[in-house]
Structure 1
Amino acid sequence: MLKYPCPPNLSIWWNMGSMLFLVLGAQILTGIMLTMNYSADEQLAVVSVDYIMRDANYGWIIRSLHMGGASMFFALIYTHVARGVYYGAYLKNPHVWYSGLTLYVLSMGVGFLGYVLPWGVMSYWGLTVITNMMTVIPGGARALDWFQGGFVISTVTLKRVFVLHFLLPFVILGLSLAHVLLLHTNGSSNPLGLDETNFSVPFHPYYSIKDLAGFALLLAGLVGMTFTFASLTADPLQWQPINKMKTPAVIKPEWYFLYAYAILRSIPHKAAGVFTMFAAIVGVAIFPMISAEESFQSMKVCPPARLMFMIWAANFMFLTVIGAQEPTGGWVLAGQFGTILHMGTLAALPLVKLMWESELYMPIEQEEKMGVL
């Protein structure tokens, strides 16, 4: 690994992968510590969380690190994916792209399961909303009853959520190692999108030092958030006891799922909304298929694609804001507009790059034909 050949022009955007490994390790470590005092029971879950925060030695620090680490993990994932889209990493390593997408979907599942465990108001109603999406597929109602352990969400359901949340991070860790092995097969992409095999440099010391600097900044940010803004991303309703007879005015997940939730709510038909939401989440899977004929990887040489990318990223933030609002009036229309824009830009990004390349190469090909004649 220390002698792994790397392109000599990698920027800070290539530090996200190593940072994700660090945060994943911290999440697994703090999660194991939290399980020592957590009780997966409807009556005891809130009590055990209060015990961790108030009475367990340094329990509030461990839980705050775990909550802040989850937000940091998804922020790094979104930056990592955006870098891959902008610099065309999916062209050089399609298998790495698909393994990374699998890791992202699994991480979303683990993140949601962790959101359920404190068993506050949002935990219960969020689980109700997400599990009911299973009924849109054939046999989904029976699968829902099996997962819940009955006809309603109960202690049995919470125990199963807890077991899955404990085990899946180790699956993610194993797949992450496979992700890195696949990356080492063809090598890393680079900002220029060129083949720099003959100009590579060893990983150590050129990038090992760079990764250590990134680790220091990441740990400083995580510790700073833990001790200064411990509940920055937490919903206040998560501290209220569950009332199964009263639905909150606004049911919403953590910030890193809000864009998908906004898309789900923007379509009134249940099955169509679920399908569109999953298509939006895994939509980047089409990039290697559509872009197979591209000559350039990076968007640096394609101004129209850069503009489209900026619109896509800005719309992602727009949908995140929409997902936190009450689904009434203009917010519904705004969510529908953002959904159309998100799906449209996903499909258009590779096509714009292909059209730009055809405009660049067409005059050259015509000149070559004229020269031959």
Structure 2
Amino acid sequence: MLYKNHWPSERKSHFILKFINKAFIELPLPSNINYYWNLGSLLSFCLIIQLITGILLAMHYCPEIIHSFDSIAHIERNIYSGHMLRNIHANSASIFFLCVYLHISRNIYHITWSNKITWSLGITIYLTMIITAFVGYVLPWGQMSFWAATVITNLFSAIPYIGNFVVLWIWGSFSVSNPTLNRFYSLHYLLPFILTSLIIIHILALQTEHHTNPIGNQSEIDQIPFHQYFTTKDIQTIILISIVIFFITTTIPHTFSDPENFIKANPLITPTHIQPEWYFLFAYSILRSIPNKLGGIIALISSIIILYLILLLKQNNIKTTNHRPNLKLTTWLLSITFILLTWIGSKPAEPPYTTLSLIITAWYFTSFLIFIPLHSNKENKIIYMHKTPLT
């Protein structure tokens, strides 16, 4: 059905009100999109939580290796509701990444990368999130924070000719120390605002494309405005995710935390099993699957960059895998692959996990480089052959 524009025209003359009207009030959307499309609003909500809690935590945090660990303890013990503040910041980061992974999987499943600018911005946002979360993980200066920073930054030493120079530049010293912590703290404070800017541009880019739906058509007839039909659904999921975050924060606040990180960093004692947060485990598993350090870095970077290459696939009017059985199976297996890589990343780097990691990593790249393009092109030809002209 069609709808009319009921917002007063004078309110559309102002730039901010015009943007709000276009992006959140009268944005035309297919009437049959489901709750899987609410992930965008959930991501915005998680970002707001991260910004507010992060700024409040920064008021009490001390970026000095002597005092940083103690300042975290001070926040949790002496600041009013400080433990809640820190636990909300830490746990909502996990929810943030969970929503991102679901959001990416939805876009791959429903083939919504037709707008190259929007997709490229989305992957760039994801890369920015990875860097932001990594430098933030170092700030508590616990055992796992220190050794994760040491291991990950040392990987750059494998770059031919300039590797050692890059590592020393990142450290700001001859080891992970106070200059490193100061740099990471500055980046962790700056990057969220860059992330916010990229998300605003991402939302603006969304206004220029046709929105898909679960059945894959792009009809402009059966559309309804974003408000109040979809704002109601968004509010429902935001309330639900708020309850989940509150439950985790108050009941099981350290579910996603490593016990080693509650010990102050000691450069003389190496933890038995060094691993990052759960949302980095899939990349960590890919990194460890290649015995060579440089090969591992290339595989790690390629696992993210490959998401840009999906733009090279030929587009079709049917924007979903629901009607493409082979492509549908491949995307589901790709999701299972991601889960398996995350699980293996949490295991020690020893047989049989190293062998499994290599096999599943090979399947991950094969899915993107061979099976998805192969099935996509093959099914595009079938769709084209059976397409009948409108009369």
* Alignment TM-score, normalising by the size of structure 1: 0.94
Distance 2:317 2:310 in 1: 14
Partners of 1:5 and 1:187 within 8 A in 2: no
Aligned partner (choices 94, 112, 121) of residue 89 of structure 1: 112
The separation in 1 between residues aligned to 2:144 and 2:122, in whole angstroms, is: 29
For 1:167, give the aligned amino acid.
L
Letter matched to residue 149 of structure 2: L
Match of residue 259 from structure 1: 282
2:200 is equivalent to residue 177 of structure 1: yes
- Partner residue in 2 for 1:98: 120
For residues 352 and 299 of structure 1, the distance between their equivalents in structure 2, rounded to whole angstroms, comes to 10
Q: In the alignment, is the contact (CA less than 8 A) between 1:262 and 1:319 conserved in 2?
A: yes
Which of 47, 60, 71 is the matching residue for 1:24?
Answer: 47
Equivalent of 2:295, from 272, 284, 291?
Answer: 272
Is the 1:249–1:326 contact (alpha carbons within 8 Å) kept by the matching residues of 2? no
Q: Which secondary structure state, in structure 2, belongs to the residue aligned with residue 201 of structure 1?
A: strand
- Kept in 2, the 8 Å contact 1:121–1:238? The answer is yes
Cα distance in 2, alignment partners of residues 35 and 316 from structure 1: 33
Name the CA distance, whole Å, in 1 between partners of 2:365 and 2:36.
25
Which residue does 2:16 correspond to in 1? Answer: none
Corresponding residue number in structure 2 for 1:141: 164
The answer for unaligned runs of 5 or more in structure 2 is: 1-22
Give the secondary structure class of the aligned counterpart of 2:319: coil
Tell me by how many angstroms 1:360 deviates.
4.6
Alignment deviations for residues 39-92 of structure 1 (CA, whole Å, 9 cap, x no partner): 11111111001111111110000000001110000000000000000001102x
Deviations 1:297-331 (A, max 9, x none): 20000111111111111111111010011101111
Instruction: Map 1:152-191 to 2 at 5 A.
Output: 152-191=175-214
Q: Paired residue for 1:57?
A: 80
User: For the residues of structure 2 that align with 1:19 and 1:191, how far apart are their CA atoms?
Assistant: 19
Taking the aligned partners of 1:309 and 1:64, their CA distance within structure 2 comes to 34
Q: How does 1:109-148 map to 2 (within 5 A)?
A: 109-137=131-159, 138-148=161-171
The structure with the greater share of residues assigned to helix is 1
Letter in 1 for 2:303: A
State the distance in 2 between where 1:289 and 1:197 align.
Answer: 26
Distance 1:259 1:335 in 2: 10
Tell me the residue number matched to 1:322.
344
Equivalent residue runs for 1:219-298 within 5 Å: 219-292=242-315, 294-298=316-320
Please give the alpha-carbon distance, in whole angstroms, between the structure 1 residues aligned to 2:77 and 2:117.
46
Task: In structure 1, give the amino acid aligned to 2:359.
Answer: F
Give 1:361 deviation, angstroms.
Answer: 4.1
Aligned residues: 364
Q: How far did residue 8 of structure 1 move?
A: 1.2
Note the C-alpha offset of 1:216: 0.7
Letter in 2 for 1:34: L
- Which residue identity does 1:136 align to in structure 2? A
Distance 2:362 2:166 in 1: 31
Distance 2:353 2:314 in 1: 34
Q: What SS class does the counterpart of residue 355 from structure 1 fall into?
A: helix
Distance 2:314 2:382 in 1: 16
Normalising by the residue count of structure 2, what TM-score does the alignment of the two structures yield? 0.90
Q: Could you tell me which residue of structure 2 aligns to residue 371 of structure 1?
A: none
CA contact (8 A) 1:299 1:305 kept: yes
User: Which amino acid letter does the alignment assign opposite residue 255 of structure 1?
Assistant: W
**Using the alignment, how far apart are the partners of 1:61 and 1:202 within structure 2?**
38
1:37 aligns with 2:60: yes
Query: Does the aligned pair in 1 maintain the 2:76–2:82 contact within 8 Å?
Result: yes
State the shift of 1:295 in Å: 4.0
Paired position in structure 1 for 2:358: 336
Aligned 8 A contact 1:119 1:242 in 2: yes
1:7 to 22, 30, 37: 30
CA distance in 2, matches of 1:177, 1:337: 39
Partners of 2:382 and 2:313 in 1: how far apart?
18
Say if 2:65 and 2:178, in contact at 8 Å, map to a contact too: yes
Partner of 2:69: 46
SS in 1 for 2:322: helix
How far is the alpha carbon of 1:199 from its aligned partner?
Answer: 2.3
CA-CA distance at 1:135 after TM superposition: 2.1
Which amino acid letter does the alignment assign opposite residue 43 of structure 2? Answer: L
SS at match of 1:301: coil
CA RMSD for the aligned pairs? 1.6
